[in-house]
Amino acid sequence: MLLPTPRGPVSEILVSVFRTSPGADAEALLKTVSAADVEKISEEDLQLSLFLCYGPQYCLFGESVQSWEWESSLIELRKRLEVRFDRELREAVSELPDVGVAKLPDFLMELGRPRGGRSLSRYLKQDATMEQFREFLMHRSVYSLMEADHHSLVIPRVRGGGKPALVEIQSDEYGGGVPGRLHSQLFELTLSELGMHTRFGAYFEKVPACALATVNVISYFGTYGRHRGAVLGNLAVTEIGSHHVNQNFRNGLRRLDGPDESWLFFQEHIVADAVHEQLAAYDMCGEFVRENPGELAEVVFGAMVTAELGARANEYLLSCWERGESALRGAMPAVAGR
Ligand SMILES: [Fe+2]
Ligand SMILES: [Fe+2]
């Protein structure tokens, strides 16, 4: 992926140092960004900056940027960004309910259950234009073209309870050993069947902060052992209810005459996630907290914040389209005169 266009002063500095090798000048530049500076930047700048900081651990920006991976000046800046991000995440969910270890799986199933009211998947099923469907795929591409990689960060951090189910889910996400069946590859197929670019980063410039946040939150949790429970909560909410929304996505593409192969990604999730939601809630999170009851609140936090960030990202798309506008950054209104 090419280095993206900066969205404010901090991402400007990060992009400029990533164009050079680590050295005294570049490291000094990173150190000029104070905690107070981080508080003042826009959400777009914050989310892009976090995405840039996590990029080297996924080998995203090419060989030269890899030399930055363990540079202390970069890690220190990332930690200053994470202080603000963590605070925003905690504000997003305010009070955590007292769930109790035994009730956690049922709580997660209820949290992830599809509800009435405004629904992105229902809109895509019934009302969206093909252009809007493509915009939705562009938003999702920052996650689904790397599907499962973010959650895999947690595998070596979990032992015993919950690990077999975690690995089973992740194995399915990686296609169960069958070439071409990785969910990220099925997503590529959807994009190519709809005449879209399949390269990771092709639509990155068009994706707003709310979509980047849904990915950054997994990278953040996955980077720290103390947040391992939050990764599991995130994965559970990603899986629970997914088979239902993917049915809506598939039916939407069918209504829009999408080619058969373009549905495969959604079809796969209708089948796989009906199993994954049970595995995630009961065998993964349930067993994990039974062995690690002190980490119950972290699982609940991860689950609730994931539900909230997902709802915000979905609402962004819906509200843009309702105003007759594109949900892409830098796009002109989709409907003339509105
Ligand atoms: Fe998947
Ligand atoms: Fe899944």
In this predicted model, what pLDDT tens digit does every residue of 201-249 receive, in sequence order? 999 999 999 999 999 999 999 999 999 999 999 999 999 999 999 999 9
For 37-75, write each residue's pLDDT tens digit.
999 999 999 999 999 999 999 999 988 899 999 999 999
CB contact burial 93-118 (16+ within 10 A = b; e otherwise) = beeeeebeeeebbebbbebbeeeeee
Expressed in angstroms and rounded, the spacing between residue 279 Cα and the centre of ligand 2 is 10
CA–CA dist 263, 267 (Å, integer): 6
> Closest by alpha carbon to 54, among 136, 153, 192, 178?
153
Helices 228-239 and 104-112 meet at what angle, rounded to 10? Answer: 50
Expressed in angstroms and rounded, the spacing between residue 194 Cα and the centre of ligand 1 is 19
Residues in the chain: 338
Entry pTM: 0.96
Expressed in angstroms and rounded, the spacing between residue 82 Cα and the centre of ligand 1 is 27
Expressed in angstroms and rounded, the spacing between residue 293 Cα and the centre of ligand 2 is 25
Expressed in angstroms and rounded, the spacing between residue 144 Cα and the centre of ligand 1 is 8
> Closest by alpha carbon to 262, among 318, 196, 204, 328?
196
What residues pack around ion ligand 2 (CB closer than 5 A)?
239, 273, 276
Contacts of 323 (CB under 8 A, 6+ apart): 338
Expressed in angstroms and rounded, the spacing between residue 148 Cα and the centre of ligand 1 is 7
Expressed in angstroms and rounded, the spacing between residue 271 Cα and the centre of ligand 2 is 9
Expressed in angstroms and rounded, the spacing between residue 83 Cα and the centre of ligand 2 is 30
Expressed in angstroms and rounded, the spacing between residue 252 Cα and the centre of ligand 2 is 20
CA–CA dist 40, 24 (Å, integer): 26
CA–CA dist 239, 285 (Å, integer): 12
In contact, 52 and 18? CB cutoff 8 Å? yes
Regions of the chain with pLDDT less than 70: 332-338
In contact, 124 and 137? CB cutoff 8 Å? no
Would you list the DSSP string of 161-173? TTHHHHHHHHHHH
Q: How many C-beta atoms lie closer than 10 Å to residue 24's C-beta?
A: 8
Expressed in angstroms and rounded, the spacing between residue 236 Cα and the centre of ligand 2 is 9
> Closest by alpha carbon to 223, among 61, 88, 56?
56
User: 331: which 2 tokens?
Assistant: 């796009």
Contacts of 296 (CB under 8 A, 6+ apart): 99, 100, 101, 104, 229, 289
User: 155: which 2 tokens?
Assistant: 């595998």
Radius of gyration of the chain measured on its C-alpha atoms: 20
In contact, 151 and 170? CB cutoff 8 Å? yes
Expressed in angstroms and rounded, the spacing between residue 239 Cα and the centre of ligand 2 is 5
Expressed in angstroms and rounded, the spacing between residue 42 Cα and the centre of ligand 1 is 31
3-state helix vs strand vs coil in the chain, percent to 5:
70, 0, 30
Expressed in angstroms and rounded, the spacing between residue 23 Cα and the centre of ligand 1 is 40
Expressed in angstroms and rounded, the spacing between residue 72 Cα and the centre of ligand 1 is 34
Q: What is the pLDDT of residue 243?
A: 96
Expressed in angstroms and rounded, the spacing between residue 261 Cα and the centre of ligand 1 is 16
Tokens 């549905």 correspond to: 263
Q: What is the pLDDT of residue 333?
A: 46
Expressed in angstroms and rounded, the spacing between residue 270 Cα and the centre of ligand 1 is 10
Expressed in angstroms and rounded, the spacing between residue 169 Cα and the centre of ligand 2 is 6
Q: How far is CA 318 from CA 80, 123, 326, in A?
A: 32, 8, 10
- Looking at this protein, which amino acid is placed at residue 123? Y
Tokens 């907290």 correspond to: 289
Expressed in angstroms and rounded, the spacing between residue 147 Cα and the centre of ligand 1 is 6
Expressed in angstroms and rounded, the spacing between residue 109 Cα and the centre of ligand 2 is 14
CA–CA dist 74, 201 (Å, integer): 22
Q: What is the pLDDT of residue 116?
A: 78
Expressed in angstroms and rounded, the spacing between residue 20 Cα and the centre of ligand 1 is 36
Expressed in angstroms and rounded, the spacing between residue 276 Cα and the centre of ligand 2 is 5
